[in-house]
Amino acid sequence: MVAKGDFVVAVSKKEVVATVLPMQEHWLPMSNLDLLLPPVDVGVFFCYKKTPEEDNLFTFGSMCGVLKKSLAQVLVSYYPFAGEIVQNTVGEPEILCNNRGVDFIEAFAEVDLCDLDFYNPDESVEGKLVPKKKQGVLCVQATKLKCGGLVVACTFDHRVADAYSTNMFLISWAETARSMTLSLRPSFRRSLLCPRRPGLHSSSLNNLYIPISALPPPPEPQPADHLISRIYYISADQLIRLQLLASANGAHKTKLETFCAFLWKLVAAGVTGKGQFCKLGIVVDGRMRLSEGEMEKSKLFTSYFGNVLSIPYGEKPVRVLTNQSLSSVADSVHEFLETAVTKDHFLDLIDWVEAQRPEPIVARIYAGGEDGPNGPALVVSSGQRFPVSKVEFGWGKPVFGSYHFPWGGEAGYVMPMPSPIGNGDWVVYMHMMKGQVELIEREGGDVLRPLTFDYLNSN
């Protein structure tokens, strides 16, 4: 496996790309579900092979020209990405749609595409190929590789968009670059997520979310361990094998439920000490739940841009998780997921946030217990809709793409995505404690294998 993270990246140009049309400055409020997100940035990147020698249309300069021109055009529809986040009079974040623009960076990296260490993105991607956003809502970097390949990366404020919304933007950007009509235009209709009058919510939401002012003191730092990022792949055959084991109790389990149960058991196996618990959370998209089969609402939510997420979680004693079968753990995953895949759950959540405002809220999975942390926690967000093959700007499909989210919290973050090879395999981005990663590789190395360029090139 190639591991070259010490290459040099030189920035050659930086400019601000604004919309091609003049815009009247206005405010776009955050929805109640947006307000559940902390001020963290998320990265995403795509790798493209060098275009054929005989194709002189796509030099690095011309490709950057295509990216900037189409970005300016698509920002007319996705104008919040060209704005800024500011605080309103009660201290809540809002989007100032002022056409501030998007920082666009052109860079050169002294590394070949085949030598990029995808397995260890902390060395090869973080701060090099994925830009640090300093201002605005969105930042873009185009990097020419030594071999002539190209990496296109974005960093965006999670409070403005979830993965579904960002995927929608990326597809629209690529369609614009190829002079296509947008297959889906974004909607910012916040009235879809307005609280009910009078509000009504279940007290069970107090178990999933907590006002930041009620959080216990932060834990003492643990210098012996730290968060690191890794990218793996899982073969389709292994996924099916695990799914059969997880469904052994007679109830069919999805691949996501299976994978989450597998990870939950693995992480729990590395915990020492009595009385320890292990938490697992799963990000749920509420768009289809809130439309609940209503055709018109379904269309509106399909195009809705913003955050429509909830994070239910389960918490079990480590000794229980390690002793239970994969199918029993998968049953537990299914049970806590069932509480959040309903219309009522999301309506209650909108009303619950309204009752707490303007107090900032955080998901409990990211916090410890009443007396502080009592064990590890990880959050899994399904990236099965990640549109790698659709982010095609005119010079071919990406050979690889991934989200990159070293968010800096104490809980681990995991996103499984479809392999760009298109054979049913999964690519899995992980941001977890080093000790947990080492355990996963030691105990689950036959399932989760390091991602290499050789694997990506095997098609």
| Residues β-bridged to residue 27 | 96
User: In the chain, what's the furthest Cα-to-Cα distance?
Assistant: 66
| pLDDT band, very low/low/confident/very high, at 3 (cuts 50, 70, 90) | very low
80/263 Cα distance (integer angstroms): 36
* Average pLDDT value over all residues in the chain: 92
| pLDDT band, very low/low/confident/very high, at 217 (cuts 50, 70, 90) | confident
- Residue 431, helix vs strand vs coil: strand
> Which long-range contacts link 391-394 to residues 24+ away (Cβ below 8 Å)?
391/46, 391/152, 391/170, 391/171, 391/173, 391/174, 392/174, 392/178, 393/63, 393/66, 393/67, 393/70, 393/152, 393/173, 393/174, 393/177, 393/178, 394/58, 394/66, 394/177, 394/178
Question: Hunting for tokens 């996924």 — which residue is that?
Answer: 239
Percent of the chain scored above 90 by pLDDT? Answer: 81
**What is residue 288's predicted lDDT score, i.e. its pLDDT?**
92
**What is residue 202's predicted lDDT score, i.e. its pLDDT?**
87
Asked if pLDDT for residue 426 goes beyond 90, the answer is yes
First-residue to last-residue Cα distance in the chain: 18
**What is residue 54's predicted lDDT score, i.e. its pLDDT?**
54
| pLDDT band, very low/low/confident/very high, at 296 (cuts 50, 70, 90) | confident
What is the torsional sign of CA 168, 169, 172, 173? negative
**What is residue 220's predicted lDDT score, i.e. its pLDDT?**
64
- Residue 94, helix vs strand vs coil: strand
| pLDDT band, very low/low/confident/very high, at 370 (cuts 50, 70, 90) | very low
Asked if pLDDT for residue 115 goes beyond 80, the answer is yes
Asked if pLDDT for residue 131 goes beyond 60, the answer is yes
Asked if pLDDT for residue 458 goes beyond 90, the answer is no
- Residue 31, helix vs strand vs coil: coil
Say if pTM beats, i.e. exceeds, 0.85: yes
For residues 85-89, average pLDDT: 95
Asked if pLDDT for residue 388 goes beyond 90, the answer is yes
Asked if pLDDT for residue 2 goes beyond 50, the answer is no
**What is residue 74's predicted lDDT score, i.e. its pLDDT?**
98
Higher pLDDT, 2 or 120: 120
Question: Hunting for tokens 């873009």 — which residue is that?
Answer: 140
| pLDDT band, very low/low/confident/very high, at 41 (cuts 50, 70, 90) | very high
For residues 34-47, average pLDDT: 96
Write out pLDDT tens, residues 172-183.
Answer: 999 999 999 999
322/382 Cα distance (integer angstroms): 24
**What is residue 55's predicted lDDT score, i.e. its pLDDT?**
66
Write out pLDDT tens, residues 218-264.
Answer: 666 555 678 999 999 999 999 999 999 999 988 999 999 999 999 99
